[in-house]
Amino acid sequence: MEKSILRLPRGLRDFPPEEMAKFSYVENKIRRVLELYGYQEVRTPIFERFDLFALRSGEEIRSRMFVFSTDEGEMALRPEVTAPIARMVATGKLDLSKKPLKIYYIGPCYRYDEPQAGRYREFWQAGVELIGSPYPEADAEVIRLATRVLEELGLEGYVLRIGDMAVIRAFLTQEGVPEEAVNRIIGPLDVLTSSLDKLRMYREKLSEANSGRPLGPDELSDLIRRCDEIRRLKEEELLKMDAGESLIPKAYEGLLEPDPRVYRLKELYEEGSFDEICDVLDKKAEELVVLTKLRWAYYGVEYGPGQTYKMPEEVFDKLMELMSISGPGDEALPALEKLLGRSGQVGQALSRFEEALKALSWFGVEGFTVDMSIVRGLEYYTGTVFEIDFPFLGAQKQVCGGGRYDKLVEEFGGPSLPAVGFAFGVDRLVLALERSGKVPPARPRCDVYVIPISEEVLDYAIRASEQLRSSGLRTEVSLSRRKLREELSIADKLGARLAIIIGPREAEEGKLTVRDLETREQVSLPLKEAIRHVKAALAGGKT
């Protein structure tokens, strides 16, 4: 047999019981918090029609999903669950008389991402959707749910950043960008800001370290990949310029000059030339911004058949300025007002944003940062957007993302229903627990291990085990017919607290011999008393 058929595809994992226990622990905590706030669980299929996911994002999304054909047309494994929930609402599957709907889900999602630590092709999301309330207190409740889950898990050191897509959208509309073009700009903007954020993060780590290995192997390859991608984009443009095919004016040629240091990043890292790498990172970040600006200004953004929007350079510059606003609310809001003014749609969006931030304080959510660079890749967001990071997780530090999407249900042909929600990456929460040393000790497979010492007493031992289970005791009965000594050592290995040894005398007298595996003390008791005795021992008393 070919060995390769046994190899898991990249980005997929198996979960042995010890791993599953961590996932169940996290999922149970999430369920408990969400139900405390009145949210109800739903489930949607693992795959749906490709168009459901592409409607908002366009064809580009294809390369980031697992797409396959069936007799009913093209399907995609779900990359997320918000669009399926919006479909469920739009097609009348949920009782709208209970508006706002409060829904949650926990399940696998699939993205054709480049796998690395914390980024998988199959991963688990736990999310909520609050559908039917346009009010800022709904945004605030959803954000509070997310922070409460983290509190329940005992996870500290998270960074909550909040932005607002309505402000960004209103700004772009005010500058004359057609609405459909705005939708097509959001995705690439997210890629741009996430790239800048990653480059900045690597720069910080490198500039704080004098020696050693400040980056993990995945981080170093991600850094190199990102820099190389910018080099490739520049080179492509330069080649076009040389062939006279570039739409970018020749005057910008100097900006596209190659920088041979990109080829030596690994070497520079190994010899500890971190300052040099920081310099490369600064240049790459700058180049990425300029390249995007020039491409949008001279090639434009396609937003429909034969329709292209060319963004004037000064609009792009102002957009960058807007997105660079970050800080505590009482600093960021005045800065936003200063940059954008307070009239028309922009003014309304700013007031709404302010109200959402105020409502957060009613829920006791504090210590967040307003960060206008959060644009979120999924293009359905229309208002408040937020992300939660654990910086110690490195490149894949984002454990939660969400926001308001007021048009999606309507776009799917349903009623006009404003909505807000988020999703946690459960895998990343598990990683955060592991890194913080907060994984609870694994629960043993059973509490009581029943050992029939010979074949004749199997009947009695198994019947007794069934009664122990009926009384709520987690009980295993040996199915291996081993010698008593071996059975006792297995009981120990399984982590059982007590063994119950059954021989012909116990069977005859209708008793059970309970052995404390720690103290090795034994007592022989009738069934009912034995159960009481076992329960007392498990509750912490000595036997």
- In three state form, how does the secondary structure of 250-285 look? HHHHHHHCCCHHHHHHHHHHHCCCHHHHHHHHHHHH
136, 418, 425, 452: residue in contact with ligand HAM (rule CB under 6 A): 425
Report the C-alpha gap between 383 and 403 in whole angstroms.
Answer: 7
CA 227 to chain centre: 25
- Do the Cβ atoms of 22 and 439 come closer than 8 Å? yes
Stretch that binds ligand HAM, among 63-71, 131-139, 417-425, 465-473 (CB under 6 A): 417-425
Q: Determine, following the binding rule CB under 6 A, whether residue 113 of this chain makes contact with ligand HAM.
A: yes
Number of residues that bind ligand HAM (CB under 6 A): 23
Counting beta carbons within 10 angstroms of the beta carbon of residue 197, is it exposed (0 to 12), middle (13 to 18) or buried (19 or more)? middle
Residue 447 CA: distances (Å) to CA of 125, 469, 489, 496:
32, 11, 14, 4
Site track for ligand HAM across 125-164, x = CB under 6 A = x-x-x-----------------------------------
Amino acid identity, position 268: L
Q: How far is the CB of 465 from ligand HAM (least distance, A)?
A: 41
Q: How far is the CB of 434 from ligand HAM (least distance, A)?
A: 15
Q: How far is the CB of 184 from ligand HAM (least distance, A)?
A: 18
Q: How far is the CB of 285 from ligand HAM (least distance, A)?
A: 22
Q: Determine, following the binding rule CB under 6 A, whether residue 399 of this chain makes contact with ligand HAM.
A: yes
Report the C-alpha gap between 249 and 256 in whole angstroms.
Answer: 12
Q: How far is the CB of 292 from ligand HAM (least distance, A)?
A: 21
**Residue whose Cβ sits closest to ligand HAM:** 425
Stretch that binds ligand HAM, among 173-181, 213-221, 400-408, 520-528 (CB under 6 A): 400-408
Q: Determine, following the binding rule CB under 6 A, whether residue 187 of this chain makes contact with ligand HAM.
A: no
352, 428, 511, 515: residue in contact with ligand HAM (rule CB under 6 A): 428
Rounded to 5 degrees, what are φ and ψ at 421? Answer: -165, -175
Rounded to 5 degrees, what are φ and ψ at 30? Answer: -60, -50
Stretch that binds ligand HAM, among 36-44, 115-123, 180-188, 357-365 (CB under 6 A): 115-123
Q: Determine, following the binding rule CB under 6 A, whether residue 422 of this chain makes contact with ligand HAM.
A: yes
The token pair at 118 is 């914390």
Report the C-alpha gap between 45 and 83 in whole angstroms.
Answer: 12
Report the C-alpha gap between 429 and 400 in whole angstroms.
Answer: 9
- Number of Cβ within 10 Å of residue 438's Cβ equals 13
Q: Which is nearer to ligand HAM, 365 or 400 (CB)?
A: 400
Q: How far is the CB of 25 from ligand HAM (least distance, A)?
A: 17
The token pair at 293 is 């600006």
Closest CA to 165 of 301, 330, 352: 352
Q: Which is nearer to ligand HAM, 131 or 357 (CB)?
A: 131
- Residues numbered 198-217 forming contacts with ligand HAM, rule: CB under 6 A: none
Q: Which is nearer to ligand HAM, 378 or 534 (CB)?
A: 378
Q: Determine, following the binding rule CB under 6 A, whether residue 400 of this chain makes contact with ligand HAM.
A: yes
Residue 287 CA: distances (Å) to CA of 8, 235, 242, 335:
38, 12, 19, 26
Counting beta carbons within 10 angstroms of the beta carbon of residue 18, is it exposed (0 to 12), middle (13 to 18) or buried (19 or more)? exposed
Q: Determine, following the binding rule CB under 6 A, whether residue 80 of this chain makes contact with ligand HAM.
A: yes
Tell me which DSSP letter residue 62 carries.
Answer: G
- Residues numbered 319-378 forming contacts with ligand HAM, rule: CB under 6 A: 378
Stretch that binds ligand HAM, among 230-238, 425-433, 484-492, 506-514 (CB under 6 A): 425-433
Site track for ligand HAM across 35-54, x = CB under 6 A = --------------------
Q: How far is the CB of 190 from ligand HAM (least distance, A)?
A: 10
**Using CB under 6 A as the criterion, which residues of the chain lie in contact with ligand HAM when the complex forms?**
80, 82, 111, 113, 119-120, 123, 125, 127, 129, 378, 398-403, 421-423, 425, 427-428
